[in-house]
């Protein structure tokens, strides 16, 4: 299981390498740690790493992937970013045209249908392109009436996450 943990300005890549009972082997930015973790209460954990004991209190934040983590005298606001949350952020980014009016593909997939061409005038809500990813089809629609400036993909093309698909004026 791979995900990222965002703490303030720092993003750490976390890989769960092995889990057997209370024993965990994880990699944090490719550095491997062996942990003995026990739940001592609701959201309270006792963790032993390299012979040192840590008591950690984890409180649910504003969503299911946001937490407040307390350790000793420190408090950290933590966000978990996994494949689902990266996908949702990319979808919201694409729907919002917040990057210079460019629609990006949120994850690797295949272009099923391109429904517009450069120069076309489209209405708000009109489907522009359909992408198949993770056995689901996603429609990318115009959030406002606009003119298509560029179509950067074609049908049956395989695309990567973050790849430019449509630019509007």
Considering the four listed CATH numbers 1.10.486.10, 3.30.700.30, 3.40.50.2300, 3.30.420.40, the one that applies to the domain covering 2-81 is: 3.30.700.30
Q: Interior CA angle at 11 toward 8 and 15, to 5°? A: 135
pLDDT recorded at residue 102: 83
Does residue 99 register a pLDDT over 60?
no
Phi, psi of 163 (to 5 degrees): -75, 135
How is domain 89-168 classified at the architecture level of CATH? Beta Barrel (2.40)
Global pTM? 0.50
- Segment 94-113 mean pLDDT: 73
pLDDT per residue as tens digits for the range 36-49: 999 998 889 999 99
CATH 3.30.700.30 residue window(s) in the chain: 2-81
CATH 2.40.50.100 residue window(s) in the chain: 89-168
Q: In what order do the strands lie in the sheet with 102-104?
A: 102-104, 164-168, 146-151, 121-122
pLDDT per residue as tens digits for the range 117-141: 999 999 988 999 999 987 888 888 8
Does residue 98 register a pLDDT over 50?
no
């Amino acid at each position: 299981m791979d995900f990222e943990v965002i703490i303030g300005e720092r993003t750490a890549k976390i890989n769960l390498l092995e889990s057997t009972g209370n024993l965990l082997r994880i990699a944090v930015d490719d550095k491997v740690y062996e942990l003995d973790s026990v739940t001592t209460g609701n959201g309270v954990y006792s963790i032993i790493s390299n012979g040192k004991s840590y008591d950690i209190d984890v409180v649910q934040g504003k969503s299911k992937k946001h937490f407040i983590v307390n350790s000793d005298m420190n408090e950290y606001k933590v966000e978990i970013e996994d494949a689902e949350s990266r996908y949702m952020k990319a979808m919201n980014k694409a729907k919002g045209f917040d990057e210079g009016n460019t629609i990006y593909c949120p994850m690797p997939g295949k272009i099923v249908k391109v429904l517009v061409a450069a120069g076309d005038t489209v209405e708000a809500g009109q489907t522009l392109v359909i992408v198949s990813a993770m056995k689901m089809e996603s429609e990318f629609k115009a959030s406002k009436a606009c003119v298509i400036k560029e179509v950067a993909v074609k049908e049956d093309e395989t695309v990567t996450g973050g790849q430019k698909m449509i630019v509007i004026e």
